[in-house]
Amino acid sequence: MKTQMRTEPMALMDLAKVDVPKTQPPNLLPEPIAPRDLVSVHDLAPAEILSLFNLTAMLKRRPADFRGVLAGKQMVMFFEKPSLRTRLTFEAGMDSLGGSTFFVDQTRGRLDARESLYDIAHNLERWIDVIVLRTFSHATVEGMATYADVPVINALSELEHPCQALADFFTLQEHFGDLSKIHFSYVGDGNNMAHSLLLAGAAMGSKVSIATPERYALNPVIVTMAQAIAEETGATLRLLNDPRKAVTGTDAVYTDAWASMGHEDEAEERAKVFAPYQVNAALFNLAKPHALFMHCLPAHRGSEVTDQIIDSPNSAVFDQAENRLHIQKAILVWLLGGGVGRFQARSARAHA
């Protein structure tokens, strides 16, 4: 079994400093002693996130230089929830890097309904190089990461959506540069997206203002984690209930669906509670004139955002969607770029 934790910056930092040659990709990452996972944004140290962004920029700028980097690598995806962006960007990304993908539709039954997660994990680690999960329960992702001796990626759980948040802050970096100088705001439900954005903003040293209705506040454990990170990075975190106060003077305004997957039966009740949090012209105009509008999609037009805002020149929603492809390619290269060393390490542990 592997222990999941955030470590200090390793080989990713070294790779990010390398200028990519025009004829072949840079040297691949040396394999850590035990495979790393991406279960939470918190699994990455702040310097690792910046290095991951550098690698993402290289992959985006010169994708042809990385063709074949993951040749022979295999990825399996188990999705308990429907998906457009997450599934296609992972599949397209893995294919463009030379690897293979297997998709298992779990929308009609939870992953561990027929067999224990422990047994599933120990089967998968003998066949597959990386496991991608989109689940209702965060405990499923954590359990798989604990049991499987190959990297596990959280492609969305009810607690976090780390790949999306990393793509979002990479998008902000493209637009504004130094992330420690931006003021980022989020209004709406204190859901998985808000959690990962808070952790990412804290890691990047940003000023982050999040406004939610009192009944739909963020998970206090996530808040405590983000505050601890902010003490290291100098980030400023504000948790509010007033959306106007959160948005005023900010560089980006982010929102998400008021009723996330699994809460559809609460949509009518939530619509009443969240009405003051709609990102419309009156609210958005409180931000700076250059402010970006951001949304992880799918958007419910006329609910959490109006057409006027999501279709405006300030909208970055499709930049965010595009960058899901590039950030996930970087994550895959980081986790899988070390060749077969981990199989040797596993064999050594098995005979220890």
Structure tokens at 87: 């599934």
Catalytic residue among 4, 87, 270, 296: 296
Phi, psi of 265 (to 5 degrees): -70, -10
Q: In angstroms, rounded to a whole number, what is the distance separating the alpha carbons of residues 323 and 89?
A: 9
- Identify whether 161 is a catalytic site residue: yes
Catalytic residue among 256, 278, 295, 342: 256
Q: In angstroms, rounded to a whole number, what is the distance separating the alpha carbons of residues 51 and 15?
A: 8
- Identify whether 215 is a catalytic site residue: no
Residues contacting 189, CB < 8 A, separation 6+: 212, 216, 256, 257, 258, 259, 260, 270, 274
Q: In angstroms, rounded to a whole number, what is the distance separating the alpha carbons of residues 59 and 2?
A: 29
CB 149, CB 346: distance < 8 Å: yes
Residues pairing with 240 in the sheet: 211
- Identify whether 24 is a catalytic site residue: no
Q: In whole angstroms, how large is the CA radius of gyration of the chain? A: 20
- Identify whether 164 is a catalytic site residue: yes
Catalytic residue among 161, 195, 270, 326: 161
Q: In angstroms, rounded to a whole number, what is the distance separating the alpha carbons of residues 220 and 206?
A: 20
- Identify whether 242 is a catalytic site residue: no
- Identify whether 265 is a catalytic site residue: no
Catalytic residue among 42, 85, 134, 326: 134
Q: In angstroms, rounded to a whole number, what is the distance separating the alpha carbons of residues 190 and 48?
A: 26
**Cis status of the peptide bond prior to 298, with omega within 30 of 0:** yes
**Residues forming the active site:** 134, 161, 164, 256, 296, 324
